[in-house]
Amino acid sequence: MNELWLAVEVLAPAFWLGTVFAISFLEAPLKFRAPGVTIAIGLGIGRLVFRALNLVEIVVLVALWVATLAADETPSAGVRNLLAALTIVLAIQVAGIRPPLTRRSDRILAGEELPRSRAHLLYVAFELVKVILLIWLAVVTVTAHL
């Protein structure tokens, strides 16, 4: 059973990192460049995609916590701290930043014209922090098991 937890512990950060790159840094900016995609369509797609991404991220984070605690008798402070930081970053994005962005997109979909949002830039900044933490976690985890 330890091999399963070890596999999750090692592979989950890479999987999570791939989803963040694919959605946040490829799909999100490119969809608005596609022919025929209006702001309303782009916002609608973005809301669905980011809701799904955040759900997957939560599942992966829980799996990482369980795998780390199950695979290692005493996980290193570094791994625990990185998982705690990822938990905080994701919680801020899901509970703190996404709700105002959702309210803003509701207003735009209702026909209001609004200036650019700083909350969106804050979300992107947290995505960059998440990428750094995931790379760091992957390196720490793999090197700990070599």
65-105 pLDDT, tens digit per residue, is 999 888 756 788 999 999 999 999 999 999 999 999 999 99
Looking at residue 146, its pLDDT comes to 78
Which contacts (CB < 8 Å, 24+ apart) does range 119-128 have? Answer: 122/97, 123/93, 123/97, 123/98, 124/24, 126/89, 126/92, 126/93, 126/97, 127/20, 127/24, 127/25, 127/93
Q: Is the pLDDT of residue 5 over 90?
A: no
Looking at residue 4, its pLDDT comes to 87
The span from the CA of 49 to the CA of 94, in Å, is: 13
The span from the CA of 10 to the CA of 123, in Å, is: 26
